[in-house]
Structure 1
Amino acid sequence: MTTLYYMPGTCAMGIHVLLEEIGKPYDLKKVDFANQAQFGPEYMAINPKSKVPALERDDGTVLTEFPAIATWLALTNPDKKLLATDPEKLTRTLETVDYIVATLHMQAWTRFWRTVNYSTVEEEHPKIKARGKEMTEKGLALLDKQLDKKEWLMGDFSIADSALYFFEFWIAERANWPLPPNVAAHYQRMKARPSVQNMLKLEGLA
């Protein structure tokens, strides 16, 4: 059975949502960051990168990195139509996912939420945090424009929406920053999906 290694409230939420959208049986294994389990030998044997998500497949092989896992899930479950087959739309979907994960998550949000990763000098932290918020606002404005007159980022629901959801969750529920109107409406639509509601219950976030 496919197994998702996750920590509640991390970007693994987006992969968890996709597993719920697909609807096939899967297992969940929590990696307890509070106890630094991501650095322990048991999890390091699964994912030596010491982060989540990681997806162990039926044959025992493991996939890491959000874009790769999301793409594999979409391609192996074509009936769910989580990724377009048209080359242009497919490429634009991957472009959007990469921007959310590589820029907004890893650069913007990390500056704000994991400031110490950028500097151990406490006096520098306010400036780093401010830059992170500035980058976040710029990114959300771009995504807000992409969502203009659309329910979903690519027109139809896709892996890009599950990526945007985890970022929206952080901004709305952790940072308590306002979301721009189209993004806020997207977040509400995501929260109404059974897949998101089930994920939140299973991760203890409901």
Structure 2
Amino acid sequence: MMKLYYAPGACSIGTHFLMEEMGLTYDTGRLDLKQGDQLKPAYLDVNPKAKVPALVRDDGSLLTEFVAIAFWLGRTYPEKGMIPEGMEAEVRTLEMLDYAVATIHMQGFSRLFRPAKFARSEAEHDWVREQGRAVVDKAFGIVSERLGSSDFIMGDRLTLADAALFYVLFWGVDRVKLDVPENLAAYYARLRARPSAQKVFADEGIQFS
């Protein structure tokens, strides 16, 4: 059986959401990043990168990195429809998947959440956060334009890209309390209300005030 290693509320929540949407059978391993579980020998033996998500597959091999895991899941279970048919639809899905992870997460939220990684001086941390906020705001505007009035980012069906947008919007709307474009807020509300999302929130112990 596959095993997903995650940390509550981390980017791995998107992988968790995706696997629930696909109706897969899998086990989970929960890490507390604040307690340094990712740096302990027991987890480093599984994933020397000391990060989540990490997926141990049925054959015992390890797969890491959000985009790689999502793509592998989509390709391994094509009947779940998480990768649209046709080259153009597929590359557009991967384009948005990568944009959510590489830009919104890594360039934007990383600066908001961990400014010390981008500036040694604490006096510069607010400036770093401002830069991160600018990246996120611009990116959410681009996603909003792409989404338009569609139910999902690729149209009328949920794909891999929606799983990545789910976690960055969770951070933006529920953690940072950002104002996002109206259609994007409604889109996230639809994702958040799905049974898969509700199960993931419950499993990860995430509560909303």
* C-alpha distance in structure 1 between counterparts of 2:47 and 2:108, whole Å: 24
Q: Give 1:71's aligned residue.
A: 71
In structure 2, how many angstroms separate the alpha carbons of the residues matched to 1:181 and 1:190? 14
Is the counterpart of residue 48 in structure 1 residue 35 in structure 2? no
Look up the match of 1:119: 119
CA distance in 1, matches of 2:149, 2:4: 34
The question of 1:157 aligning with 2:158 is answered yes
Residue type at the aligned position of 1:166? Y
Determine whether 1:145 maps to 2:145. Answer: yes
List, as ranges, runs of 4+ consecutive aligned residues in structure 1 with deviation greater than 2 Å.
none
Report which stretch shifted further, 9-18 or 19-28.
19-28
Give the partner amino acid of 1:161: D
Instruction: Give 1:9's aligned residue.
Output: 9
| 5+ long unaligned stretches in structure 2 | none
Q: Percent of aligned pairs with the same residue?
A: 42
Q: Distance in 2 between matches of 1:153 and 1:173?
A: 20
**1:16-95 alignment, distance < 5 Å:** 16-95=16-95
| Shift, 1:76, TM fit | 1.3
- Post-superposition CA distance 1:139-172 (Å, at most 9, x none): 0000000010211111121010110010011111
Give the equivalent residue in structure 1 for 2:183. Answer: 182
Separation (CA, whole Å) in 2 of partners of 1:149 and 1:173:
22
Look up the equivalent residue of 2:189 and give its one-letter code. Q
Report the equivalent of 1:106: 106
1:24 deviates by 2.5
Letter in 1 for 2:86: D
Residue in structure 1 matched with residue 174 of structure 2 by the alignment: 173
Tell me the residue number matched to 1:199: 200
Three-state SS of the structure 1 residue aligned to 2:63 is: strand
Count of aligned positions: 206
Q: CA RMSD in A?
A: 0.9
Within 2, Cα distance between the matches of 1:7 and 1:108? Answer: 20
